Structure 1
Amino acid sequence: MPGEILDNQGKGEASWSWPPIHPEFRLFAAIGAGLCLVAALLGWETLAWPLGALTVGIVAFFRDPRRVTPTGDRFIVSPADGLVTLIQKVPPPRELTVDDGSGRPGLKDEPVTRVSIFMSVFDVHINRAPIGGTVRRVVYIPGKFVNADLDKASEENERQHVMIERGDGLVLCFTQIAGLVARRIVPFIKPGDMLASGQRVGLIRFGSRVDVYLPEGTEPRVIMGQKVTAGETILAEIGEQLQIEGIYQ
């Protein structure tokens, strides 16, 4: 049940169910189904079957499963499903450091830890808020559509920066990046909106990436090559700087 509190002591009820589908699927699924129907009526079975499979794949792409988000002031949860492909110290994007005229300061123009999460076409593409707070900036930037798995995608691709500020003044930013196949970033939020941790903030269609810029003095609790889940995986704990190693096996 949405909004129900569950814990590690057995509180609450959990059961498997088919994930809901986000309404964005309708147009694309209708096109696929229409082409499949035309091919079937014309007797082109070798084409109709792949088109039918494509339609099912489109519906699956827009699935929007419910998630259980850990609660706690120190937790930064993953904003995306996917694979951690880059962890680097980099300067934050200029759009997040310059004065935007709102009277609220942006990030310091100093290197921070960036965690990049690559979403393949098989991952859920609904993005979620890594922390709760107020949306201070949403900056859309048109650009290219190179492979989102490449480092240069952060500076060259179509992207959208989001800045969230908590009540205690903590600021966290993340960037939605379109990829080689992705062609549209669909926002669900705007500046001034109040968000809860794990709340849906948007989606990127057909393969993409999300960069998270961790606050100063915070290192990730995930490692390179790890699979993460939006709204559930704890990406980092604020103020923690532990080194974590893993074995690829």
Structure 2
Amino acid sequence: MSVSQHSAIAREGMPLLIVAIFGALLLQIYFGADSWPSWVLVLALGWLLRDPQRSIPASPLGIVSPVDGKVMAVEATKDPYLSRDSLKISIRMPLYGTFTLRSATEGNVIQHWMADTVPRGSGHTHAVWLQTDEEDDVVLALHPGRFFGRIACYLSTGDRVGQGRRCGYIPLGAQLDVYLPANCPAKVRVGEKVWGGRSILAQFIHRAQVLKPITS
């Protein structure tokens, strides 16, 4: 299994953590031991901004969870982005992190949709279309979070991304809808906890190529 490599603290939160540490040091200089609550805050902030390494499953046809959270829905529905029948898996991220977004599959970024271009009535603020080398299509779509409605996404159209690789950040969490080919069997159930880059949500199904015998 491959392991994604990055800092244990999300780089998006590093400036905030540095400011908190600096503030705690100043308080300790002026107030000594009475400044201990500021260090508790630093520890809590560091835990909230954590970005642990994840072992990516050795499953080329597996679709991994893009975020940590709880499965809220597993249903057959219409994909509003690609106008196809699809399997939708909805994941609600917790307020207490982690907030890292990962790629559900290996492939290329085909298109982005922002708040002003998402389909009307979808309730999404951002969506990304990924396509595998076998032309399996996956759409990741973000519902507005409780406090933030936007995502920090580091993918551009045409980029190549690996399965389970870090590709964005969603401050304080949100709900993510994952639209998959309709024939994908789900590997999770409603209420199940999933881990970004590690839990398998579903699996691509490819028809085996039938070889015709050679006749003389």
In which range does the TM-score fall when normalised by the shorter chain?
A: 0.7 to 0.9
Determine if the alignment matches structure 1 residue 132 to structure 2 residue 143. no
CA distance in 2, matches of 1:40, 1:89: 56
* Matched residue SS, 1:201: strand
Would you say the 8 A contact 2:95–2:173 is kept in 1?
Answer: yes
Higher share in strand: 2
CA distance in 2, matches of 1:227, 1:61: 18
CA offset at residue 197 of structure 1? 0.7
Q: Which residue of 1 aligns with 2:165?
A: 199
Select 2:147's aligned residue among 181, 187, 204.
181
| Amino acid in structure 1 at the alignment position of 2:9 | I
Flag the 1:51–1:127 CA change in 2: closer, same or farther, 3 A. same
Moved more, 174-183 or 75-84: 174-183
Secondary structure of the residue aligned to 2:57 is: coil
TM-score, scaled to structure 1 = 0.69
Could you tell me the percent identity over the aligned residues?
Answer: 25
The normalised TM-score by structure 2 is 0.78
* Aligned twin of 2:17: 29
Give SS of 2:56's match: coil
Q: Tell me, what secondary structure is at the counterpart of 2:109? A: strand
Higher Cα Rg: structure 1 or 2?
Answer: 2
Q: Is 1:80 aligned with 2:54?
A: no
Q: Which amino acid aligns with 2:122?
A: E
Kept in 2: contact 1:173–1:212 (CA 8 A): yes
**What RMSD over aligned residues (CA atoms) do the two structures have, in Å?**
2.8
Instruction: Read off the aligned partner of 1:129 and give its amino acid letter.
Output: S
Larger relative contact order (CA 8 Å, sep ≥ 6): 2
Can you give the 5+ residue segments of structure 2 that lack an aligned partner in the other structure? 207-216
Q: Deviations over 1:138-194 (max 9, x none)?
A: 22216xxxxxxxxxxx8335x220111111211111113341123541112111111
Q: Between Structure 1 and Structure 2, how many residues are aligned?
A: 199
Amino acid at match of 1:172: V
